[in-house]
Amino acid sequence: MKKKTILYFAICLILLSLPLITSGFLVRLMTHIFMFIVVSSALNIIAGYAGYAAFGNMMFFGLGAYTTAICMERVGIPFVFSMMLGGFVAVIAAVLFGTLFLRLRGHYFALASLGAAEAVRSIVDNLTELTGGGQGMTISSLDVNPAISNSIFYFAMLLLAVVTVTFVWWLSRSRLGYGLMAIRADEEAASVMGIYTTRSKVIAWSLSALFTGLAGGLYAFWFSYIDPPTVFDVMWVVDMFVIILIGGMGTVIGPVIGAVILEAISEVVWSNFIELHLGILGIIIILSVLFMPKGVVMLARNSKNIGDFLHGIKINREISV
């Protein structure tokens, strides 16, 4: 226990002092990782805990980014409030679409949410006066030198990641969290036990939307340029799913570990074999689904040493048709 405390303390210290020791590349990479921790943890609420494959979650990211940009550039609202409005708009979208879609099961929900995300992208693309359409929007960046601005976004994203992970941790042991896990295990049974299933799922998706929207808002200010193909890209949601699959669905720490692993691999692949980037990502997806469908966290939790770990992989392979 003593050792663990020291380890956690060391990690905190390194995270807090990183922008002071180094700058540039590493700080930006870490900010990226924090952002993926936020959006993947948010997806984990609906996908990992409630068991609904929300393949349209990038719509909240895009809505958050665009709301923030429009509020800052067209209305002149300060960033923090704009970002909160971004989260709010994402929640409204989740409530609207959720009431319609969350009665659908399995693939039908996945497809409906994907279709909704494409429809929202198309609307944003067509509201040219407000959003600039396909030309995108430029957001005036912070008026400080790049090193300081990098550190500011590093700490902002770190804060958002800590808040999100803490929230998911709280959720996982709350009444709502247990309700969601019951829905994942058996929806009929959960309903019989007195859980309002549709309402719980809509709340779960709205919470997911809130954090994804906030991350989108922060992304818009950080990158200071957004356009529909970038912020509504389906690859966002694929990355999120891969992260929670690698880390472990329905665990608090899974998305954190998954984000670190995937982004570190992506970084290495990007810088060395840029033209093979997607192919290698594809192979990673196939292998991780095949050999550890429950994620690193679950495998590690159930195995004391490397032998157990490999045995766990073998058992997963043997449960076939």
Partner 1 sequence: MLLQSIVNGILLGAIYGTIGIGFSLVWGVMNIINVAHGGFIIIGAYLSFAMFNQIGIDPFLSMPIVMLIMFLIGFLIQKTILNYVIRGSVFLTLTLTFGLQILIYNVCLVIWGADYRSIKLAYSAHSFLFGDIVIPSVRLGVFGVAILLTLLFYLFMQKTKTGIAISATALNLEGAKTVGVDVGNIYALTFGISAALAGAAGSMISPIMSFNPFLGNPLIAKAFIIAVLGGLGGTGGALVGGLVLGLVETVGTIYISARYQELLAFSVFILILVVRPQGIIGKRFY
Counting contacts by CB under 8 A, is residue 118 touching partner 1? yes
Closer to partner 1 by CB, 13 or 100: give it: 100
319 is a contact residue toward partner 1 (CB under 8 A): yes
The rounded distance, in Å, linking the Cα atoms of 55 and 208 is 12
* Beta carbon nearer to partner 1, 122 or 141: 122
293 phi/psi in degrees, rounded to 5: -60, -15
Residue 116 makes contact with partner 1 by CB under 8 A: yes
Cβ contact 102:205 at 8 Å: yes
Per rule CB under 8 A, is residue 182 in the interface with partner 1? no
Pattern 40-69, partner 1, x by CB under 8 A: -------x---x-x-x--------------
Near partner 1 by CB under 8 A: residue from 6, 13, 96, 123: 123
Task: Please report how close the Cβ of residue 213 comes to partner 1 at its closest, in angstroms.
Answer: 20
State yes or no: residue 127 binds partner 1 (CB under 8 A): no
Fill in the amino acid letter for 181: M
Q: Near partner 1 by CB under 8 A, which window of 114-122, 151-159, 162-170, 217-225?
A: 114-122
**Min separation Cβ 315 and partner 1, Å:** 12
Q: Which of residues 189-248 bind partner 1 (CB under 8 A)?
A: 234, 238, 241-242, 245
Candidates 25-33, 143-151, 254-262, 276-284; binding stretch for partner 1 (CB under 8 A): 276-284
> In three state form, how does the secondary structure of the chain look?
CHHHHHHHHHHHHHHHHHHHHCCCHHHHHHHHHHHHHHHHHHHHHHHHHCCCCCCCCHHHHHHHHHHHHHHHHHHCCCHHHHHHHHHHHHHHHHHHHHHHHCCCCHHHHHHHHHHHHHHHHHHHHHCHHHHCHHHCEECCCCCCCHHHHHHHHHHHHHHHHHHHHHHHHHHHCCHHHHHHHHHHHCHHHHHHCCCCHHHHHHHHHHHHHHHHHHHHHHHHHHHCEECHHHHCCHHHHHHHHHHHHHHCCCCCCHHHHHHHHHHHHHHHHHHHCHHHHHHHHHHHHHHHHHHCCCHHHHHHHCCCCHHHHHHHHHHHHHCCC
Q: Applying CB under 8 A, does 115 fall inside the site for partner 1?
A: yes
Q: Does 297 bind partner 1 (CB under 8 A)?
A: no
Which range in 61-69, 77-85, 103-111, 258-266 contacts partner 1 by CB under 8 A? 103-111
Smallest separation (angstroms) from partner 1 to the CB of 306: 22
Instruction: Using CB under 8 A, count the residues that bind partner 1.
Output: 46
- Quick check: 278 binds partner 1 (CB under 8 A)? yes
Q: Where on the chain is the footprint of partner 1 (CB under 8 A)?
A: 47, 51, 53, 55, 100-101, 104, 106-108, 110-112, 114-116, 118-119, 122-123, 125-126, 234, 238, 241-242, 245, 249, 275-279, 281-286, 289-290, 293, 317, 319-321
